Amino acid sequence: MNKLFAWLFLAAIVFGIAGLAVTTERSSAQVPDGRRFDIQCQQTVAPTADNGWKGEVTCSVTIDIPPRLEERFGWPDTVKVTIVATYEDVNQNGRPNRGDRLQCAVVDGPAGFHLERPPGCAG
């Protein structure tokens, strides 16, 4: 049960990041003890009138796991996930920005981890 809770906790973090994916190209942070949190995003589908102003952003997220969580849950020291976020370009400027509507977020991670928000949106 602890592993399930831990994965759900990680998923909650990732979905929070996915919500930001339509507004971020690159972001990283490093905490004082040397751990890091890195997001790299790129727009893979540009929204245009021809595609109904639907865009897509693909992000790679790397998270250094704190040693206490590595030991407690048996996680590796670094977790990498990929997020593909589809959005509606509300202001029709051809770029992701605040105010655009997140349509679907698909998260793939280690050991076959796969989540969709809302469920079944990528199907």
Structural domain tally of the chain? Answer: 1
Range of the domain at 85: 2-117
| pLDDT at position 25 over 70 | no
Is 1's pLDDT higher than 50?
no
Q: What is the pLDDT of residue 111?
A: 79
% pLDDT > 70, the chain: 72
| Structural domain contains residue 9 | yes
Average pLDDT, integer, range 57-81: 81
Cβ neighbours of 119 (radius 10 Å): 8
Residue 73: CB partners within 8 Å, gap ≥ 6?
2, 3, 6
pLDDT tens digits for range 86-101: 999 998 988 887 788 8
Average pLDDT over residues 33-52: 83
- 123 in any annotated domain: no
122 found inside a domain: no
Residue 85 CB burial class (10 angstroms; 0-12, 13-18, ≥19): buried
